Amino acid sequence: MREAYIVAYGRTAIGKAKNGALTGHHPVDWTAQALSAVLAAIPELVPEDIDDLILGCARHENRCNKNMARLVAMRAGLPYSVPAQTINRFCSSGLQTIATASNAITAGDADIILAGGVEQMSMNLTRADDDDNAWLKENEPGAYIAMGLTAENVAGMYNISRQEQDEFAVLSHRKAAQAQENGYLNKAIVPVDVGGRLFHQDEGIRADTNIAKLAALKPCFKEGGSVTAATSSQASDGASFVLLMSGAVCSRLGVKPLARLTGHVVTGCDPLYMGLGPITAVPKLVNRSCCKLDDFDVIELNEAFASQAIACVRSLGLPEERLNPWGGAIALGHPMGATGCVLTCKALDYLELTGGSRALITMCIGGGMGAAGIVERVL
């Protein structure tokens, strides 16, 4: 059976939405820079040989309109012969592109594919209610529900206190701040030129945050609720890519395989409790892959909200000592279309640093879904 290998990867630093380093700059520009940097890591590759570019984007609006993947391909100077597609599975779009690319290579439909994601939430945080479907609004209340309200629903279902959520958020920032200070986050980050300066450090990490500061914040989604801005993933801008090749092409070009995606599943759940998606996705993946949670050296669970992350940790019995060791989206941010690829890059760096071999990547998905994937380092 053919193998599909990740041979290079990278991401922009993650910027704050609305007032961050990437906010006032066109996403096509900085995404193309990230793509070019990942390609530059494999100088043996002839760009004309790339079979496809697959880019995840959760909100195809404003500056991320049209076929964003094709726009980025042209901006990066790829030959016109390289096709491109933009896909959307909301928060798991970046992981979905890797799975789609891996499947195409394994099936023999392609040999070389760039996969990744982008989001500029600075431009896409609002939408018009007039666009909502009347039947869905009346019959499926979860179809257009604000994600923060789903976090409140999960907190209520699992009796997750405000204190627990605040503590989870503080820990996320603490772990991310320590990783940033130690330089662990730097390896995957591709510096990009924005307005004449290089952007190369994640902006959302608050090393000085504490329980007292978080306790002073008001709930922002529901009166009398428990979910605050600090216990929610940060709205962010960013992009990330991995380059995949078949084993035959790796051998022909003399390129060393770094890792491979050995499993991927998606599942559905009630959209009113969308944060619970990993609770069904992870067991399905683990059972299908004939492995167990103890087999993973690191688990990257996207922190959409502290309440949903806590619920998933409890329900799945995730080992907290291996969970998001370098922090999660509450501290680092959640550029939706890119997040799945960002987590993959982070997991690969962690495995290399620690000598580990296998990572679990999982996230909930807006609309009521869950995704999970297994990435194995090639030793």
Q: Is the pLDDT at 129 greater than 70, yes or no?
A: no
- Report how far residue 191's alpha carbon sits from residue 11's, in angstroms, rounded to the nearest whole number: 9
Please identify which of the residues 57, 64, 91, 250 carries the catalytic annotation.
Answer: 91
Please identify which of the residues 25, 64, 334, 345 carries the catalytic annotation.
Answer: 334
* Confidence grade of residue 179 (pLDDT, cut at 50, 70, 90): very high
Mean pLDDT of 185-212: 97
Q: What is the structure's pLDDT at 358?
A: 98
Secondary-structure percent of the chain, ordered helix, strand, coil, rounded to 5: 40, 20, 35
Q: What is the structure's pLDDT at 1?
A: 76
- Report how far residue 308's alpha carbon sits from residue 304's, in angstroms, rounded to the nearest whole number: 7
Tally Cβ neighbours within 10 Å of residue 60: 14
Q: Is the pLDDT at 63 greater than 80, yes or no?
A: no
110-123 pLDDT, tens digit per residue, is 999 999 999 999 88
Residue owning tokens 């002839």? 46
Strand partners, 239: 118
Is residue 91 among the annotated active site residues? yes
* Confidence grade of residue 25 (pLDDT, cut at 50, 70, 90): very high
Contact status, residue 194 vs residue 122, Cβ threshold 8 Å: no
Q: How far is CA 233 from CA 266, 302, 308, 367, in A?
A: 21, 9, 11, 17
Contact status, residue 226 vs residue 307, Cβ threshold 8 Å: yes
Mean pLDDT of 91-108: 98
Based on the number of CB atoms within 10 Å of its own CB, is 329 exposed (0-12), middle (13-18) or buried (19 or more)? buried
282-304 pLDDT, tens digit per residue, is 999 999 999 999 999 999 999 99
222-263 pLDDT, tens digit per residue, is 999 999 999 999 999 999 999 999 999 999 999 999 999 999
Mean pLDDT of 72-96: 98
Tally Cβ neighbours within 10 Å of residue 229: 15
Q: Is the pLDDT at 109 greater than 80, yes or no?
A: yes
Q: What is the structure's pLDDT at 204?
A: 97
* Confidence grade of residue 131 (pLDDT, cut at 50, 70, 90): confident
Tally Cβ neighbours within 10 Å of residue 286: 20
User: How does strand 259-268 pair with strand 15-16?
Assistant: unpaired
* Mean residue pLDDT across the chain: 96
Q: Is the pLDDT at 34 greater than 80, yes or no?
A: yes
* Confidence grade of residue 130 (pLDDT, cut at 50, 70, 90): confident
Q: Is the pLDDT at 127 greater than 90, yes or no?
A: no
DSSP string, 220-289: SSSTT----GGGBPPPEEEEEEEEEEEHHHHHHHTPPP-EEEEEEEEEE--GGGGGGHHHHHHHHHHHHT
